[in-house]
Chain A
Amino acid sequence: SQQGEEDPQALSIQEGENATMNCSYKTSINNLQWYRQNSGRGLVHLILIRSNEREKHSGRLRVTLDTSKKSSSLLITASRAADTASYFCATVPYNTDKLIFGTGTRLQVFP
């Protein structure tokens, strides 16, 4: 079963614009991670945020976590054509060692 659901399912933007995608999950978590998948490089880890953290940055990426709403968002600033990919949130449910993926958001960045 999928723990997370991403929203929107698909997103199209122009280069230079910001992209925001959201993840909602069902149960308490240890941490939440974001991954990118494109045809060239497979699934790649982007960033991890722990359950006691509210915001984290890495380069052009900003992740927020609201455990009371069981939701997270990923913001990509100043997007590039190379950011075109599917983005997945993945959760580690509380008291488990499992890594459960959501449904994904397909991002298309036009030059």
Chain B
Amino acid sequence: EAGVAQSPRYKIIEKRQSVAFWCNPISGHATLYWYQQILGQGPKLLIQFQNNGVVDDSQLPKDRFSAERLKGVDSTLKIQPAKLEDSAVYLCASSLGQRVTEAFFGQGTRLTVV
């Protein structure tokens, strides 16, 4: 079975520019997560979708971050404008049902803001 796909793998942008990340979860998985992982820290949940509805976005900086999950399948996360402190790995994960069990992670997108 194909895993969670993310692109791009790496991105370098200047501060105040915008950037978008794409995620394709495992087929049939209802739940999709976006996490931000700063070097040396644990993943921080940014937003969680159940099908195409938002379950939780309490940690998403909504003045600059936005995310959508069209038709309950793939998802995009956007940052506009980027700040230096946004430099991190952005991880996408998916899990099968509505009750949280095992989550499957993509390889992540490493963002560097200069």
Instruction: Report A's interface with B, CB cutoff 8 A.
Output: 1-2, 4, 30-31, 33, 42-45, 48, 88, 90, 92, 96-104
- Structural contact, B43 and A43, CB atoms closer than 8 A: yes
CB distance from A34 to the nearest CB of B (A): 11
- Structural contact, B45 and A100, CB atoms closer than 8 A: yes
A-B contact pairs, 11 of them (CB 8 A): A1-B59, A2-B44, A42-B91, A42-B105, A42-B107, A44-B105, A88-B43, A97-B55, A98-B45, A99-B95, A99-B103
CB distance from B75 to the nearest CB of A (A): 16
For chain B, the bracket of interface size reads 20 to 34
Instruction: Report B's interface with A, CB cutoff 8 A.
Output: 31, 33, 35, 41-45, 48, 50, 55-56, 59, 91, 93, 95, 98-108
- Structural contact, B43 and A31, CB atoms closer than 8 A: no
- Structural contact, B41 and A103, CB atoms closer than 8 A: yes
CB distance from A22 to the nearest CB of B (A): 15
- Structural contact, A48 and B42, CB atoms closer than 8 A: no
